[in-house]
Amino acid sequence: MKRAMWRGALVTLAVVLGVGASACSGGDDEAASTATATAAATAAGGGGGAAPAEGEEIEIIMTDNVFTPANLTIPVNTTVKITVKNEGSAIHNMHILSSETEGKDFASNPLVNPGGEDDFEVTFTKTGVVNFQCDFHLPDMVGTITVQ
Ligand SMILES: [Cu+2]
């Protein structure tokens, strides 16, 4: 019974994300249904994907000149660790423009070398959308964090 309920939740998630039509067609194929829900969550990416919980880590890949993912969702009043990995050939950083709402900007080391990485903790206390950027590659290398 519990398993059936969980599967129902996955299908419901897929429907909510707008890809439910195919997930509902084959009632006897549990694996396909699960795979569809997983794909939907992945496709949602930073926009509507599962938000991290307290203490979880978010990994962001920096290339020349893009953040992946570029759009994140983080719950309000939740401390998460952001790890940035520079897989590009230029120096990058992640600078979150949060001073207006949080009293300070959160940021990685200002110089993350190619092949290098850095991590830092963030806690947002106000809901809304906060922009972030690489200070070296404006206006191209930018992203948003939705705090909800
Ligand atoms: Cu950059």
- Domain with residue 71: its CATH number is 2.60.40.420
Distance between CA atoms of residues 143 and 62, nearest Å = 11
Asked if residue 77 and residue 37 are part of one domain, the reply reads: no
* Residue 49 pLDDT grade (very low, low, confident, very high; cuts 50, 70, 90): low
Asked if residue 135 and residue 111 are part of one domain, the reply reads: yes
CB atoms within 10 A of CB 25: 11
Asked if residue 70 and residue 39 are part of one domain, the reply reads: no
For residue 91, report the distance from its CA to the centre of ligand 1, in Å.
Answer: 6
Asked if residue 80 and residue 37 are part of one domain, the reply reads: no
Asked if residue 128 and residue 73 are part of one domain, the reply reads: yes
Asked whether residue 75 is assigned to any structural domain, the reply reads yes
Q: Is the pLDDT of residue 75 over 70?
A: yes
Joined tokens for residue 100: 């207006």
Asked if residue 81 and residue 20 are part of one domain, the reply reads: no
Distance between CA atoms of residues 110 and 116, nearest Å = 12
84-134 pLDDT per residue, tens: 999 999 999 999 999 999 999 999 999 999 999 999 999 999 999 999 999
For residue 69, report the distance from its CA to the centre of ligand 1, in Å.
Answer: 14
CB 40 within 8 Å of CB 64? no
132-143 pLDDT per residue, tens: 999 999 999 999
Comparing 66 with 55, which gets the higher pLDDT?
Answer: 66
CB atoms within 10 A of CB 139: 7
Asked if residue 40 and residue 109 are part of one domain, the reply reads: no
So what's the pLDDT on residue 135? 98
Q: Which domain holds residue 103?
A: 57-147
Distance between CA atoms of residues 99 and 115, nearest Å = 29
Asked if residue 96 and residue 33 are part of one domain, the reply reads: no
For residue 105, report the distance from its CA to the centre of ligand 1, in Å.
Answer: 17
Asked if residue 66 and residue 35 are part of one domain, the reply reads: no
Asked whether residue 107 is assigned to any structural domain, the reply reads yes
So what's the pLDDT on residue 35? 38
CB 48 within 8 Å of CB 17? yes
For residue 141, report the distance from its CA to the centre of ligand 1, in Å.
Answer: 6
- For the segment 36-62, the average pLDDT, to the nearest whole number, is 64
Average predicted confidence (pLDDT) for the chain: 78
| Domain tally, the chain | 2
Asked whether residue 136 is assigned to any structural domain, the reply reads yes
Exposure class string for 29-60: b at 16+ Cβ within 10 A, else e: eeeebbebbeebbeebebebbebbeeeeebeb
* Percentage above 90 pLDDT, the chain: 63
For residue 121, report the distance from its CA to the centre of ligand 1, in Å.
Answer: 20
Residues with CB under 5 A from ligand 1 (ion): 65, 92, 134, 136-137, 141
The candidate with the shortest Cα–Cα distance to 69, out of 54, 81, 84, is 84
Q: What is the pTM of this model?
A: 0.67
Asked if residue 73 and residue 135 are part of one domain, the reply reads: yes
Asked if residue 129 and residue 61 are part of one domain, the reply reads: yes
